[in-house]
Structures are given as C-alpha cells and as structure tokens.
Amino acid sequence: MRIWLSQHARTLAATLARLVRSPVASLLNVGVIGVALALPVGFHVGLANLQAFASELAAAPQLSLFLALEASASDVAQIDQRLKRHSGVRKYHYISREQALREIKTSTGLADVVESLSHNPLPDAFVVDASDGASQTLEALRDEFKRWPKVAHVQLDSAWAQRLEAVLKLGRLAVLMLGALLAFALIAVTFNTIRLQILTQREEIEIAKLIGATNPFIRRPFLYFGALLGLAGGGAAWLIVLGGVYLLNDGLSDLSRLYGVPLRLHPLTAQDSLSLLLFSAWLGWFGARLSVGRHLSELEFR
C-alpha cells in the first residue's frame, strides 16, 4: 500500500511539474475550460437566486378579496363570518377602504393626489392566507370566493410566482442542455490535449513498454494531467462566477437604495462549489481516459 501511494505521489508531482514547465499552454487550456464552465454555472447561480427570491415572496400564498363599493357593514360582517368558518382559510385580516386610502397617502408619496379626490374610490378588502399552498387549491378557493355576494374581484397574489416557477423550469432545462454541450466540448479539449502529450512522448512510451511498463503505469500520468487540468478549469470557473456575482451586487446596491428592496445575489454554496470542482476534474479525467486508451491501443498495433 505504501509503495502504491508513493508511486501515485511521484506521478502527481511529476504531472504538476509538467504543467508548470509550459505555463502559457496550461493557462490557455485552463482559461478555455474555465470560461466554458462559467457559462452554465453562472446561469445556474442566476436561476437559483431567482427561485429563492420567488420562494421568499410567495412563501405564504394569499388571496385578496375586494368587495363591491356598495357593500355595507353587514355585508362585510357576513363575509368575515364565512371566512372564519372556512376550513381552507388559515388566517385573514380585514382592510377597510379608509385604512387603504390612508396607507396610500402615507406610503406612496401621493398625498396631494389623494387630497384632491372627491370620494374614496377604494373598496373594502380581506387578505386571506390559505391552509394549503397547492396551486389547484388556491385556484379553487379563488373561484369559490368570486361567487360570494358582494365580492367584486378576487386576486391570487401568488399567481405571478407560479408563472415565474414555470419560466425557471424552462431555464433549468436550458442550463442542463448548455452544460451537457459544454461538457462534451471540454472532454474534446482534454482529449486533444492528451493526444498531443502522447504524440510528444511517443518514443518514451514505446521504450517504456519495451522494458516491461504496463498500460496502467503509462496511463497514470496522463490521467493525472487531465484531472488536474479539469480541476484548475473548475477553479477558474468558480473565480469567474464569484467575480461576476460581486460586480452585479455592486450594481444592485444602487437599485436597492432607490427602491428600498434588498437585492443581493448569493454566490455558489460550499456544496455547489465542491460539486463544480469534482465534476470538472472528472471531465478532465474522462477526456484523458478516452484519449490515452485510444492512442495506446494504436501504439500496440504498430
């Protein structure tokens, strides 16, 4: 076991030295891999932030019941009792038309406009939190509330979030397709890089095979080379995405101050970062495995 580990350690050290001896070629290969991986990873980060934002806003599905303008106090009391007895209602609160007008006057900066109104155009409203957040249940409650007397309109406040979720599903599929295509491209890049390495060291390989070197022994440094190249490319992609998130957050801070809404993108989590590095290393190893397997077999037939 100790001999096996020492052999792998020496091979790893020799592979690192080979990468360092050709810094320009290594940096170019790492840059190509990093940019290619940064594209799907960046889209993934954007979709994850959008999904978190939508989930935060739509965490408690709500329906807004707007009453008719001619609804009296007894009509409001009847609807209040029906909501209190309804099994699908978790909680609710009543917003009178006077309260709604005061909130518009104080929070929107339209005090002059509100003062110029001859009458209050806003209706009484109930904001209802449903017991079940399933879309079918919410739509059924909306249709039921619409049929109640003196209810003029029912607004499902989480409908936009459901539409956004549908868009996010499409976006995740697009990221998956893009990632698959770029993963194939990265395997091709590694395959070609290892092919050039094998052609450069063909005479050394042939001599090593003549003195009894096995295929696993010959294959090992090339596999390490591909894995290290992929790992370095994954690290470059991580840095690119981190830098992009930092720059975007710097721009979003101005929007946050203007609109008073916390807008901030979150970078890759530790788990996603580890997955990126391991996956990129595996892509490099797999491309090297395909390349060295093919070219070693060609050398054997010569």
Q: Supply the DSSP symbol for 122.
A: P
**β-pair partners for 130:** 89
- For the chain, where do the domains classified as CATH 3.30.70.3040 start and end? 62-157
Q: Is the pLDDT of residue 301 over 60?
A: no
> 121-133 pLDDT, tens per residue?
788 899 888 887 6
pTM: 0.64
- pLDDT, position 148: 92
Compute the distance between CA of residue 287 and CA of residue 47 in angstroms, rounded to an integer.
29
- Residue 211: pLDDT above 50? yes
225-277 pLDDT tens trace: 888 888 999 999 999 999 988 888 877 777 667 656 667 788 888 898 999 99
Distances (CA, A) of 142 to 62, 139, 148, 216: 10, 5, 10, 67
Strand partners, 93: 127
Average pLDDT of the residues of the chain: 79
Entry field: residues in the chain: 302
Q: Which of 160, 162, 89 is nearest to 129 (CA)?
A: 89
Handedness of CA 125, 126, 127, 133 (dihedral sign): negative
Give the pLDDT score at 278: 93
Q: What is the mean pLDDT of residues 110-119?
A: 64
- Other beta carbons within 10 Å of 149: 11
pLDDT, tens digit, for every residue of 48-67? 887 777 666 555 567 888 98
One of 3.30.70.3040, 3.40.50.20, 3.90.870.10, 3.30.2270.10 is the CATH number of 62-157, namely 3.30.70.3040
Q: Which amino acid is at 1?
A: M
